Amino acid sequence: MWGGPVLDTHLHLRRDPDACFTHIRGCGVTNAVLLTRAADEDKAKEEIAKRPGHFVRSVSTDPAQPGAAEVIRNAIQGGAVSVGELKYHLALDSAEMRRIYDVCAEMQVPVMMHIQSFPHFPGELPYNTGYPQFDKVLRAYPKTTFIGHGDLFWAHISADVPTDRGYPSGPVKPGGLTDRFLSDFPNLYADMSANSGNNALSRDPDYSRGFITRHRSKLIFGSDCSCTDGKGGGVSQGNNPEASRLAGKCVARATLGLLKGLTSPEVFRQITWDNGRRLFKVES
Ligand SMILES: [Zn+2]
Ligand SMILES: [Zn+2]
């Protein structure tokens, strides 16, 4: 469907057996990283075994819980290829997160974080706070591969970031933090999944073309889609009212279509296959 293999690096493990396979089939994706909580490891292993050659899995656990680093280390030793997504109410530069960064450097797996400040529902607290000072972490952990994702990470594609919404629209002001961090730090990658990634790359196509060219070796395709069939059935963005622009659509299809329009076939393949395959050690 997309002219070659496609790796979705951000597909949450689903409750129903084989539902992830149904999704990738429906949207023309060939491979996926199943984002897996440590408690669901056995279920992920079953899904992977059932559809050989299509899936690998990550592991996530709350870094603030005692023994979190051990849980992560054991999962990687048991076959997990990455850590994430980490979506907890912690500072990016906290002792809890630093312990995870250390394990990821030691085990040579990437860590993906959901970075969000503006709430999707009343009372929702921010995740992975302190993004404006994240350069300190990137500098302190040169052997850790970080993957940024989420509303605030992508809002910072622009130098001006409004505080009254999660998904700013309109022209991008050059010099955004995320653009600069990607240029300055070889250990930072960007996961373009969900409405956050799609919105950031849709809002100013001329800017996006330059951004994608600059960071073509640092961008990885992911969907974070929750539609049922890979065609927009069910609910694709968790009923988040702010993400209604993607209601009724499959995020994987929407973002792959967007990328097709913004890139050459060579860059499309790099972003949707090569970069992720290398980071997540996917066998071709
Ligand atoms: Zn997320
Ligand atoms: Zn979908």
Question: Which pLDDT score is estimated for 244?
Answer: 86
With 0.95 as the threshold, say if the pTM is over it. yes
Question: Which pLDDT score is estimated for 117?
Answer: 97
For residue 229, the ligand closest to its alpha carbon is: 2
Q: How confident is the model at residue 235 (pLDDT cuts 50, 70, 90)?
A: confident
Q: How confident is the model at residue 236 (pLDDT cuts 50, 70, 90)?
A: confident
Contact 149/115 with Cβ under 8 angstroms? yes
Mean confidence (pLDDT) of the chain: 96
5 CA → ligand 1 middle, Å? 24
| DSSP bridge partners of 129 | 91
Question: Which pLDDT score is estimated for 237?
Answer: 73
Q: How confident is the model at residue 241 (pLDDT cuts 50, 70, 90)?
A: confident
Question: Which pLDDT score is estimated for 162?
Answer: 95
Question: Which pLDDT score is estimated for 72?
Answer: 98
Question: What is the tens place of the pLDDT at every residue in 175-217?
Answer: 999 999 999 999 999 999 999 999 999 999 999 999 999 999 9
Question: Which pLDDT score is estimated for 98?
Answer: 98
Question: Which pLDDT score is estimated for 283?
Answer: 83
Q: Evaluate if residue 239 carries a pLDDT over 80.
A: no
Least confident of 123-132, 158-167, 234-243: 234-243
10 CA → ligand 2 middle, Å? 11
CA–CA dist 146, 224 (Å, integer): 18
For residue 29, the ligand closest to its alpha carbon is: 2
Contact 57/80 with Cβ under 8 angstroms? yes
For residue 248, the ligand closest to its alpha carbon is: 2
Question: What is the tens place of the pLDDT at every residue in 153-172?
Answer: 999 999 999 999 999 999 99
276 CA → ligand 2 middle, Å? 19
Contacts of 70 (CB under 8 A, 6+ apart): none
Q: Which amino acid, residue 98?
A: R
Query: What value does the mean pLDDT take over residues 259-266?
Result: 97
Q: How confident is the model at residue 139 (pLDDT cuts 50, 70, 90)?
A: very high
Contact 272/6 with Cβ under 8 angstroms? yes
